[in-house]
Chain A
Amino acid sequence: MELELFDFHVDDIQWGDRTSLVGSQLSVSHAEIQEQIKDLTGNIKWNAELARPGESKRIIHVLDTLIPIAKLGEEHRTFPGIDCPARLVGTGQTARLRNVLVTIAGNFPHTEVMTPIEKPREGLIDMSGVGARYCHGSDYFHIVLTLEGEAALSNLAFDQALRSIGVRVARYLAGVQKSGAASERKTIRLDQVQSKLPKVVLIYQVQSQIPLVRTFYYGEEISKTLPSFVHPNEFIDGAVVSGTYKSERKIPTSLHCANPFIEEMLKRHGSEINFLGVILSRGYNDSFEQKKKMGLWSARMARILGADGAVAMMEGTGNTTVDFMQTVKACEEEGIKTVAVMHEDNGARGYERPLVDHPVEADAMVSRGNRSEKLLLPPLDEVIGGEEIDLHLKAKHDPHTPLFFDPTIFFGAHCQMGASGFRAAYES
């Protein structure tokens, strides 16, 4: 199974009469975007803005980010099962705008009828300043689509529409006409490698509970399922799509598609490790018994695949840590050496117990830093996506004034704190 990936890097992004990539300049036509999504936006007011790395801009109410990917010259589509029938992906040719994001921001039409678990959490992307290293996306060029659903639209219809809009624009941008644009061509496959390299899997636990708090695999909500074996190429082609709005703790769709863990394991495949693939599992199972079983099944799948070792990472926080730790425990019991990656919640003053659950088997942990340590965040010149920052349902904040808050206010904070090389450590 082989995927030919063409990565394009852009140097700038601007509005233009036609959407095109000339050299490394991306022009985006507002009218053409409108044409792409007009049948989806009957009850949605929207506007589009651009943001670039280093600009003094703060994007608020971010719901998801998508990396532009499109299949070349075939009927298959990226993001299978979302706004199109599902077909298997991970083969053929894919074009990708490696440092561009389609960023969906905005508000649901009826937050007042949402139960607390359904309510989106605030997610900021700071394009510069202190916050830039805490949020996913500050080193990307953004086309920000701010959506406001009208009253006639239900929350669930808005949820579906915003996903379809994001996916369509992401496919459209990657498929755009290119002239003089150089791409980096990569052939991605899991070749047979010499037998003495250790066989390693990535265990990839997502959050998927109820509508508005879920993750899709080929357009299907991952619910009370068994873990699934997924080829890294399928992730690259958008087989896994985010539908949760727990901003700081979510894995944005762009990071499902271009995941640093998958990339690192592909990089080491054949030289240091024999990367077997990804085990996609689900956290937040309802009972301890279910949490334990998700761990047992994931470990058993890794064992059947022949894994000697595993890297485990998870989306979310709180009780899903138990599902995650049961997985680590089960892997170790099956003889699979495991390293697990997690954020810590040491409290604003740093003295709280780092993890809510930490069995002895989890003896090789990688930290993503203390997510509850407060930061002083001066305002940035421009605010995109709304008028007020929502301090996680507790208060409203004027985005033009300094904000004193912890990293949970940032979009994709757990992932980005890890990618930025943050960890927690004792300091005296």
Chain B
Amino acid sequence: MAKVLHYLNQFFAGIGGEEKAGQEFLFLPKPAGPGVLLHDLLKDGQIEYATVVCGDNYFHEHEETVLASLTEVIAQFQPDLFIAGPAFHAGRFGLACAKSASFVRERFEVPAITGLYEENPGTREIGRHVLVIQTGSSAASMQSTIKRFAELAVLLLNNDQESLELFKEEFCLRIPRRFTVQAAAADSVRALDMLMTKLRGEVFESEIPRVAAAPHPVPAAIQNLSQATLAMVTEGGLVPLGNPDRLESSRGTKYFKYSIEERDDLRPGEFEAMHTGYDTSTVNADPDRLIPVDAMRRLERDGNFARLHNYYYVTTGTGAMPAKMQELGVGIAEELSTSGVNGVVLTAT
């Protein structure tokens, strides 16, 4: 008998609305919400059906705990198919569907499907082999969406590859992403082949598209610098000695702020740089060369600007993913602007 595990949030599971968004992870040995209809549609297949429920906020605030609980359920229930949602245009639920479905597919190689509206932020978190049924923006299309879920579930449970391809073609969301595939020959052979074509003046196709970086407009100058509060921010990985918060030395995913209040300079032995992308010995010998507290204090005293912010902000830029850096940048900028900071000296390495 095939087993299906269905992931829902508090709302679709019928537990409650926003007031129940803190609902902890829950296992139900039966279908719930849209799962009832889905189970009905699958009944001919003698399906053992179970549901896991988690509040929208709880998932994002306790993601590791939720995924650990999900791991236990997978180990005990051993599903043949994992279904998440559909989430339509619901952002938090869409992200939870994408993350849980990707987790189950990637870690346990269990086929996983979800349903999202094309603009749902969850589309950014979809693992390579998770199938995403395209839905409308609201739950008004629930009935027809669940019928699609049932069709796809049957194809997956029967491992009907041919029909699966047709189904994907017609009903699944296309999310253009780059993954590793097998080419016909080694890189050395393809490089020489491409060069021969290029030298003959014939048409060739580059294997890596040129994706232009988003432009970063230069902000307007600060009108009255002598009244301004300035802060220092770096991707150079400068942290207090011993790296108390465990900032990553590459591919950073966090940022921290550290106090420079009442400091006229940063002394060696009190700070160190966590960064695999440059030779940090110069910065360790004089941390002011990355976060120039000494020079900024001098400028502050001379009245070039009003005040130096009490904290500097730091992350590690090397090998980092641009999307993650953008997220960290937004976080830092928000903190700074709500602290009354007017300008930033941003040092890169």
Residues of A within 8 A of B (CB): 115-117, 119, 198, 200, 209-210, 260-261, 263-265, 268, 272-273, 308-311, 313, 317-319, 337-339, 341-342, 344-347, 349-355, 358, 360, 362-370, 372-374, 376, 392-394, 404, 417-428
Complex: how many Å from CA A342 to CA B125? 25
One digit per residue, 1 when the CB lies within 8 angstroms of any chain A CB and 0 when it does not, for chain B 58-94 equals 0000000000000000000000000000000000000
Complex: how many Å from CA A365 to CA B277? 25
**Contact partners of B321 in chain A: CB under 8 A:** 345, 347, 352, 372
Judge whether B222 is part of the interface by a CB distance below 8 angstroms.
no
Q: 26 A-B pairs, CB-CB below 8 angstroms? A: A115-B284, A116-B276, A119-B276, A260-B186, A264-B189, A264-B191, A309-B198, A318-B277, A338-B195, A339-B191, A344-B178, A345-B319, A349-B124, A349-B125, A349-B127, A351-B176, A351-B177, A358-B211, A366-B187, A374-B106, A376-B107, A404-B107, A418-B186, A423-B181, A424-B181, A424-B207
Q: Is B180 a contact of A268 with CB atoms below 8 Å?
A: no
**Contact partners of A264 in chain B: CB under 8 A:** 186, 188-189, 191-192
Once A264-B189, A318-B318, A368-B187 are accepted as A-B contacts, the answer to whether A353 and B198 lie under 8 Å apart by CB is: no
Once A358-B210, A364-B206, A421-B186 are accepted as A-B contacts, the answer to whether A393 and B178 lie under 8 Å apart by CB is: no
Complex partner residue of A349 from B177, B181, B194, B278, CB under 8 angstroms: B177
Q: Is A116 a contact of B186 with CB atoms below 8 Å?
A: no
Closest to B205 in A: A364
Once A339-B198, A367-B208 are accepted as A-B contacts, the answer to whether A116 and B179 lie under 8 Å apart by CB is: no
Complex: how many Å from CA A272 to CA B192? 10
Residues of B within 8 A of A (CB): 106-107, 109, 124-128, 174-192, 194-196, 198-199, 204, 206-211, 213, 237, 248-251, 273-281, 284, 318-319, 321-323
Q: Is B188 a contact of A418 with CB atoms below 8 Å?
A: yes
Complex: how many Å from CA A65 to CA B280? 28
**Contact partners of A337 in chain B: CB under 8 A:** 195, 198-199
**Contact partners of A424 in chain B: CB under 8 A:** 178-181, 207-208
Which 3 residue pairs spanning A and B have beta carbons closest together?
Answer: A350-B177, A418-B187, A428-B174
**Contact partners of B179 in chain A: CB under 8 A:** 346, 350, 370, 373, 424-425, 427
Rounded to whole Å, the gap between the CB of A42 and the closest CB of chain B is: 29
Q: Is B177 a contact of A358 with CB atoms below 8 Å?
A: no
**Contact partners of B107 in chain A: CB under 8 A:** 376, 404
Q: Is A117 a contact of B207 with CB atoms below 8 Å?
A: no
**Contact partners of A347 in chain B: CB under 8 A:** 321, 323
Taking A272-B196, A362-B206, A362-B210 as given, write out 13 further A-B residue pairs in contact, using a Cβ cutoff of 8 Å, ordered by the A residue number: A116-B276, A117-B280, A337-B195, A339-B191, A339-B194, A341-B188, A352-B322, A352-B323, A354-B211, A367-B208, A420-B186, A422-B183, A423-B181
Q: Is A260 a contact of B188 with CB atoms below 8 Å?
A: yes
Q: Is B198 a contact of A426 with CB atoms below 8 Å?
A: no
Closest to A392 in B: B250
Q: Is B207 a contact of A423 with CB atoms below 8 Å?
A: yes
Rounded to whole Å, the gap between the CB of A24 and the closest CB of chain B is: 25
Rounded to whole Å, the gap between the CB of B198 and the closest CB of chain A is: 5
**Contact partners of A376 in chain B: CB under 8 A:** 106-107, 109
Q: Is A311 a contact of B276 with CB atoms below 8 Å?
A: no
Rounded to whole Å, the gap between the CB of A379 and the closest CB of chain B is: 14
Q: Is A354 a contact of B198 with CB atoms below 8 Å?
A: no
Complex: how many Å from CA A311 to CA B185? 16
Scoring A268, A370, A427 by chain B CB atoms within 10 A of each residue's CB, the highest score goes to A427
Q: Is B199 a contact of A309 with CB atoms below 8 Å?
A: yes
**Contact partners of A418 in chain B: CB under 8 A:** 186-188
**Contact partners of A352 in chain B: CB under 8 A:** 321-323
Once A200-B195, A309-B195 are accepted as A-B contacts, the answer to whether A422 and B208 lie under 8 Å apart by CB is: no
Complex partner residue of A422 from B181, B199, B276, B319, CB under 8 angstroms: B181
**Contact partners of A428 in chain B: CB under 8 A:** 174-177
Q: Is A308 a contact of B206 with CB atoms below 8 Å?
A: no
Closest to B276 in A: A116
**Contact partners of B180 in chain A: CB under 8 A:** 369-370, 373, 417, 422-424
Rounded to whole Å, the gap between the CB of A208 and the closest CB of chain B is: 12
Complex: how many Å from CA A362 to CA B194? 13
Q: Is B248 a contact of A261 with CB atoms below 8 Å?
A: no
Once A116-B274, A337-B199, A339-B198 are accepted as A-B contacts, the answer to whether A358 and B187 lie under 8 Å apart by CB is: no
Complex: how many Å from CA A317 to CA B275? 14
**Contact partners of B177 in chain A: CB under 8 A:** 346, 349-351, 426-428
Complex partner residue of A364 from B204, B237, B273, B277, CB under 8 angstroms: B204
**Contact partners of A426 in chain B: CB under 8 A:** 176-178
Q: Is A365 a contact of B208 with CB atoms below 8 Å?
A: yes
**Contact partners of B109 in chain A: CB under 8 A:** 376
Q: Is B277 a contact of A421 with CB atoms below 8 Å?
A: no
Closest to A209 in B: B279
Complex partner residue of B322 from A115, A198, A353, CB under 8 angstroms: A353
Q: Is A341 a contact of B191 with CB atoms below 8 Å?
A: yes
Q: Is B188 a contact of A419 with CB atoms below 8 Å?
A: yes
Complex: how many Å from CA A273 to CA B192? 9
Complex: how many Å from CA A264 to CA B185? 12
**Contact partners of B175 in chain A: CB under 8 A:** 351, 428
Complex: how many Å from CA A138 to CA B249? 30
Q: Is B208 a contact of A350 with CB atoms below 8 Å?
A: no
Rounded to whole Å, the gap between the CB of A231 and the closest CB of chain B is: 18
Q: Is B199 a contact of A198 with CB atoms below 8 Å?
A: yes
Rounded to whole Å, the gap between the CB of B230 and the closest CB of chain A is: 26
**Contact partners of B198 in chain A: CB under 8 A:** 309, 337, 339, 364
Q: Is A344 a contact of B106 with CB atoms below 8 Å?
A: no
Once A339-B194, A369-B180 are accepted as A-B contacts, the answer to whether A344 and B128 lie under 8 Å apart by CB is: no
Closest to A424 in B: B178
Complex partner residue of A355 from B199, B208, B249, CB under 8 angstroms: B208
Complex: how many Å from CA A198 to CA B280? 45
Rounded to whole Å, the gap between the CB of A155 and the closest CB of chain B is: 13
**Contact partners of B196 in chain A: CB under 8 A:** 198, 272-273
Closest to B126 in A: A349
Q: Is B183 a contact of A115 with CB atoms below 8 Å?
A: no
Complex partner residue of A423 from B124, B183, B273, B322, CB under 8 angstroms: B183
**Contact partners of A308 in chain B: CB under 8 A:** 199
**Contact partners of A373 in chain B: CB under 8 A:** 128, 179-180
Complex partner residue of A116 from B125, B188, B195, B250, CB under 8 angstroms: B250
Once A347-B321, A364-B204 are accepted as A-B contacts, the answer to whether A421 and B187 lie under 8 Å apart by CB is: yes
Q: Is B195 a contact of A115 with CB atoms below 8 Å?
A: no
Q: Is B279 a contact of A117 with CB atoms below 8 Å?
A: yes
Complex: how many Å from CA A421 to CA B174? 25
Complex: how many Å from CA A308 to CA B273? 45
**Contact partners of B174 in chain A: CB under 8 A:** 428
Closest to A370 in B: B180
Complex: how many Å from CA A425 to CA B221? 42
Q: Is A419 a contact of B187 with CB atoms below 8 Å?
A: yes
Closest to A425 in B: B181
